[in-house]
Amino acid sequence: MPALPLNLPVTPTVAVIRIGLVRLLPGLLLCVGVTLVAISLEHAETALFGRAWLEALVLAILLGAALRTAWTPAARWHPGIEFGAKTLLEIAVVLLGASVSAATILMVGPALLLGIVALVVAAVCGGYGIGRLLGLPRRMAILVACGNAICGNSAIAAVAPVIGADGDDVASSIAFTAVLGVLVVLGLPVLATALGLSGIQFGVLAGLTVYAVPQVLAATAPAGALAVQVGTLVKLVRVLMLGPVVLVLSLLTARLREETEQVAPQVSAGDRPALGRAGRRCIGWCPGSSWASWCWPRCVRWAWCRRWRSHR
């Protein structure tokens, strides 16, 4: 049997991936390390208190802020950190569409669906107004309002490129939204007891007010399984408002993008595939397992090509 040649030809694609890996690896490993510490702290919270009051993503933000305060990364760390903070977040928003289907929407009924839409619109407008009254910059006020009104960190990550927000705006908005979310989680069970709400009523209230699914679970757990199920369902339907809100913001915030000299898409890069994924799932075009095997290599290839072109 002839021996295989030791020096195999390196195609341009392989060379690009190899160079990209070398550039991204230090920063990505740093991000992975912070992520593992945050996940460990979340598990420690669950073991000590019975639930995680701060989810791993919020803990990762706090850890990253503390690390950046104590240490300034050298230039070799920057590409991987930027890749994790932007490209991977956009891929996560793409995958967000897999969590909602038409059957989920129909289960809540038309009255509650209209109520969710009205509440999200009022929360975004009211939250922005309150933020401006408190002195927040316009971009940060928009991010905080959308984060609290829709789906927290995912909404902030999707809205940020549309309005030209930078990393500091995103990090500050996520931290501020997390603090408000913890206050709501702690106060809702007390309010439900004072008002004498049933499990269904409390689930609807929690699903309409708490910004993240893990915190909905934490808030509704004391009220029983029915409150948990209803709260989670209502919260998932709120996620559907992310696409329309991003679309409207892309039409209304052109001046904000021009001020930062950034060209943002009319709809966020994450939202178009996310909405398309939700629609395809509604009619059964792409089951989860087969879609994941189809989408993952294409998402990775898109991310690599985008990063390579930006540094040419």
**165 and 110 within one domain:** yes
pLDDT attached to residue 299: 45
pLDDT at 102: 65
CA–CA dist 256, 165 (Å, integer)? 9
Question: Does residue 209 sit in the same domain as residue 66?
Answer: no
Query: Which one of 73, 88, 112 terminates a domain?
Result: 73
**Does residue 309 fall inside a structural domain?**
no
Of 58, 73, 88, the position where a domain reaches its end is 73
Whether 114 and 255 share a structural domain:
yes
Both 119 and 264 in a single domain? yes
pLDDT at 126: 93
Query: Is residue 116 domain-shared with residue 265, that is, in the same domain?
Result: yes
Predicted pLDDT at 308: 46
* 190, part of any domain: yes
Asked if residue 116 is part of any domain, the answer here is yes
What residues contact residue 128 under an 8 Å CB cut-off, 6+ apart? 141, 142, 145
3-state secondary structure of 294: helix
Buried b (16+ CB within 10 A) or exposed e, 266-280: ebbbbbbbbbebbeb
For residue 230, give both structure tokens: 């209803």
Is 84 a domain residue?
Answer: no
Question: Could you give the C-alpha distances from 145 to 64, 93, 110, 128, in angstroms and in order?
Answer: 23, 18, 25, 5
Alpha helices (H) along 196-283: 199-209, 213-220, 225-239, 242-252, 254-259, 271-282
Q: Which domain holds residue 34?
A: 10-73
Q: Are residues 167 and 238 in the same domain?
A: yes
Residue 302 placed within a domain? no
Report yes or no on 225 lying in a domain. Answer: yes
Identify whether residues 55 and 143 lie together within a single domain. no
Residue where a domain stops, chosen among 73, 91, 117: 73
Alpha-carbon separation of residue 230 from 50, 119, 120 (angstroms)? 21, 17, 18
- Residue 242 has a pLDDT of 86
- Indicate the DSSP class of residue 38: H
> Which contacts qualify for 101-105: CB closer than 8 Å, 24 or more apart?
101/278, 101/281, 101/282, 102/282, 102/283, 103/282, 104/233, 104/236, 104/237, 105/237, 105/240
Kindly state whether residues 35 and 155 are assigned to the same domain. no
Alpha-carbon gap, residue 217 to 229, rounded angstroms: 9
Q: Report pLDDT for 40.
A: 93
Six-digit token pair at 85?
A: 């903070």
The angle at the Cα of 99, spanning 289 to 221, to the nearest 5 degrees, equals 120
- Would 34 be classed as within a structural domain? yes
Q: Quick one: 133 and 245 in the same domain?
A: yes
216 and 278 in a single domain? The answer is yes
pLDDT at 13: 73
On whether both 31 and 163 belong to a single domain, the answer is no
The position carrying tokens 């991010």 is 143
The answer to whether residues 143 and 194 belong to one domain is yes
252 domain residue, yes or no: yes
Per-residue model confidence (pLDDT) at position 98? 61
One digit per residue, the tens of pLDDT, for the chain of length 312 reads: 455 454 545 576 767 777 778 889 999 999 999 989 989 998 998 888 887 767 676 688 778 878 988 998 899 998 998 888 777 866 765 665 565 566 666 666 788 888 888 989 999 999 999 999 999 888 999 999 998 888 888 888 889 888 888 888 888 888 888 788 778 877 887 787 788 888 888 888 888 888 777 677 767 777 777 787 788 788 878 888 888 898 888 888 877 766 654 444 444 444 445 445 544 444 444 444 444 444 444 444 444 444 444 444
Give the chain's domain count.
Answer: 2
